[in-house]
Amino acid sequence: MVCRKEKIGKWLLLFVLVLSSSYMWAQEQTMKDLRIKSKVYDKSINIGLTGGFRSSTYMISNLQIGSNTFNDVQNNYRLGYYLALYARFNSKRHFLHTEVSYNIDRAELTFDKSTTSSARDIALVTSTIYSVGVPLLYGYNVIKSGPYALAVFGGPKLEYIWKYNINYNNFDQQNIQETLHPLNACIVVGVSVNISKVFFDFRYEQELLDISKSITYTQQDDAGTKSTGNILFNRRGSCLSFSFGVLF
Q: Report yes or no on whether pTM surpasses 0.95.
A: no
Check residue 28 and give its pLDDT: 61
Question: What DSSP designation does 171 have?
Answer: -
Residue 2 pLDDT = 47
List the pLDDT tens digit at each of the 248 positions of the chain.
545 555 555 555 555 555 555 556 555 655 555 454 555 457 899 999 999 999 999 999 999 988 889 988 999 888 999 999 999 999 989 999 999 999 999 999 999 988 766 678 899 999 999 999 999 999 999 998 878 899 999 999 999 999 999 999 999 888 999 999 999 999 999 999 998 889 999 999 999 999 999 999 987 766 666 678 889 999 999 999 999 999 88
Q: In sequence order, what DSSP letters do the residues of 45-69 get, joined into one string?
A: EEEEEEEEEEEEEEEEEEEEETTEE
DSSP state at residue 23: H
Cα dist. 20→6, 9, 16, 142 in Å?
21, 16, 6, 38
Strands (E), the chain: 45-65, 68-69, 73-91, 94-112, 122-145, 148-169, 174-180, 183-195, 198-207, 212-220, 226-247
DSSP code, position 119: S
In one-letter notation, the amino acid at residue 78 is R
Question: How many CA within 13 A on the CB side of residue 158?
Answer: 8
